[in-house]
Amino acid sequence: MKKLLIIDDDEDIRFIVKMILERSGRYTVLEAETASAGWASLTRGDINVLLLDYLLPDAKGLDLLQQLQDESLLQATQVVILTARKDPDLEQQFKKAGALAVLHKPFDPAHFFRTLETCLES
């Protein structure tokens, strides 16, 4: 079973993602509301998948992603960005920084799960 961390300040998004992924039986889901709380979980080194919101109360997701890359913490962690912004340039920046994909909010739960699974299998 993969261990997934979602860092998102929206409690409803965290709840929906956790419900979808834990029901699949493939993921154990951890949650963090801020970048600093997420960083504490990530530095333990046992996270397989990170779902990272772009705008957090204490940081931007891109900054955290670059920090993870600088600390060599991305080697064992697959990163998918969650954002409401539809900006192709921003998406390129995320992918250049190591993200596998960018998923847009709001999302249909079934589509979200299929897209996430496809991203992680490739």
Domains and CATH numbers, the chain: 2-121 (3.40.50.2300)
Looking at the predicted structure, is the pLDDT value of residue 108 above 90? no
Take residue 119 and report the two structure tokens written for it.
């991203």
Express each pLDDT in 45-82 by its tens digit. Answer: 789 899 999 999 999 999 999 888 887 766 778 899 99
Owner of token pair 């996430």: 116
Q: How many residues does the chain have?
A: 122
The span from the CA of 4 to the CA of 47, in Å, is 6
Take residue 3 and report the two structure tokens written for it.
């261990």
Three-point CA angle 54, 100, 71, nearest 5°? 75
Question: What single DSSP character describes residue 20?
Answer: H
The span from the CA of 100 to the CA of 119, in Å, is 7
